[in-house]
Every structure is written in C-alpha cells, then in structure tokens.
Amino acid sequence: MSLWAVILAAGSGSRLASAGLSVRKQFLMHDGAPLFWRSLRTLSRLPELAGLVVVFPPEIFDESRALLRDLLAREPVGLPCLTAPGGARRQDSVASGLFALPGQASAVLVHDSARPFLTPDLAARLSDALARGSKAVIPGIALADTIKCVDADGRVTATPERANLRAVQTPQAFDLALLRAAHARAADEGWDVTDDAMLVERLGEPVLIIEGEPGNVKITNPEDLRLLGPKEEEVP
C-alpha cells in the first residue's frame, strides 16, 4: 500500500469571516505556524505515509506555496509535499487533490486542515484498518445530543434513534481506486455531498466507522477559536 494524505486548505472560512476574522482560518497563525501546518506535521509522522498533497485556495495559490516552502525549509518533514489548487466546493478540492497524487499512490487519507487536533494514534488506526482490507474507513463518535429532523418551517418531522447515529470526522481513509471512482460518478451524476464517505455510500460500497476522538473538532465558529489558546495572529 502506498498511502498518501490530501490536506484540504482551500476553504474560504465564511462562517468565521462573517464573525470578523480577516484571514482564512487554515492560515491563522498559532504557535508560530499557520493552522494547516499542524495537521500536516501530525500526518507526516505516520510511518506508513508516502507523501502529502496540500490543497490551497486558487486566489492565493502562489503565496500559499511560498509559505509552505518556508515552513518545510524550517522544519523538513522528510516526505514529498505536493500542492494543488482547490475548487468551489469541498468535494471539488478533494477531486483536485486526488488528481495531483502520483501514479504509485494506492490509498489516501483525506483530512480537513480545519481539524488541527487529530492525533497520530487516530491516523495510525485508520491506516491499520486499510491495511487489514477495508476500502473506506472513517472516524465517528457517539452523540451526546438528541438529533431532530425538521422541515422548512422548523417543525420536527422525525427523531432518529440516537444510538444509531455518529458524528463523523476526518481523516477519512480510502482505497484510492474506490475514491476516484466515487468522485468520477459524483461528477457524472451531479452529486453534492459534505464528506467523501457519502460518495462511497452512494456507490453502494461499505464504509467502516472506527472510534473518532472527541478532541478532533473542526474549527468552524468563533467560539472554536478559543480551543487554539490565547495567541493568534494573521497571515498571509
């Protein structure tokens, strides 16, 4: 297995921008490096990993690549580190990252750079599940809240059984041929999804859930910034 990581850093961070943050959240400086660097560094320590692709916003692609080059010069990760321009939707950015993978890649971890707290243990458990033959493996955690389905008027239409629900995270791990087939089908059929596993599910292929990590949250709203600690500056 030649396992690569695709790190998504091409979003616009609109929910934080509307709360006043003037830089895309994945470029927020913390501990002397932009947020996306944390996931990159954690994933690069996975012994099975063969290389990484970082997907950057096309509007600031050159600056982003230069920033990555500087970070790698300061702290080499000992792996090939490629870049790709993102697209309008998350799934378009993933497709672009997959396109940039080299021919020998056979499996991939797709990760949101907005989840800086993933641990090496989670990455290793995903990689192990792939090595044992699963073709799609994702981390999920049981829910504390009861979830309601609602209609457009805000009326409750159903309450799914909580024990059967999981909140899913990234990295999501896939056999590369399967994920490529799923993205090709999505492009043909016009599917619009919020995670990669959803595409594999629509192909009718099994997706395995392993235990996620409560701390592996996605920085999404202003209150989440507190999780990063006191020091934030902005680049580029």
Q: Which residue's beta carbon is nearest to the bound ligand CTP? A: 11
CB-based contact 94:110 (threshold 8 Å):
yes
Least distance to ligand CTP from the beta carbon of 141, Å? 17
Closest to ligand CTP by CB, 83 or 113 = 113
Closest to ligand CTP by CB, 114 or 137 = 114
Q: Residue 23 carries which DSSP code?
A: S
Least distance to ligand CTP from the beta carbon of 79, Å? 20
Name 141's Cβ contacts closer than 8 Å, sequence gap at least 6.
166, 167, 169, 211, 212, 213, 214
CA-CA-CA-CA torsion sign (115, 168, 14, 179): positive
Least distance to ligand CTP from the beta carbon of 218, Å? 5
Least distance to ligand CTP from the beta carbon of 56, Å? 8
CA-CA-CA-CA torsion sign (75, 81, 83, 88): negative
Least distance to ligand CTP from the beta carbon of 78, Å? 24
Closest to ligand CTP by CB, 15 or 202 = 15
Assess whether the previous peptide bond of 160 is cis (omega < 30° from 0).
no
CB-based contact 171:139 (threshold 8 Å):
yes
Closest to ligand CTP by CB, 94 or 176 = 94
Closest to ligand CTP by CB, 18 or 164 = 18
**Own/partner long-range contacts of 152-156 (Cβ < 8 Å, ≥24 apart):** none
In order of 2, 53, 195, 208, the CA distances from 205 in angstroms are: 21, 25, 15, 10
Closest to ligand CTP by CB, 12 or 159 = 12
According to DSSP, the residues that pair with 83 across neighbouring strands are 54
Task: Provide the token pair at 194.
Answer: 């919020």
Least distance to ligand CTP from the beta carbon of 161, Å? 27
**Residues making contact with ligand CTP (CB under 6 A):** 8-15, 26, 55, 86-90, 93, 112-114, 218, 220
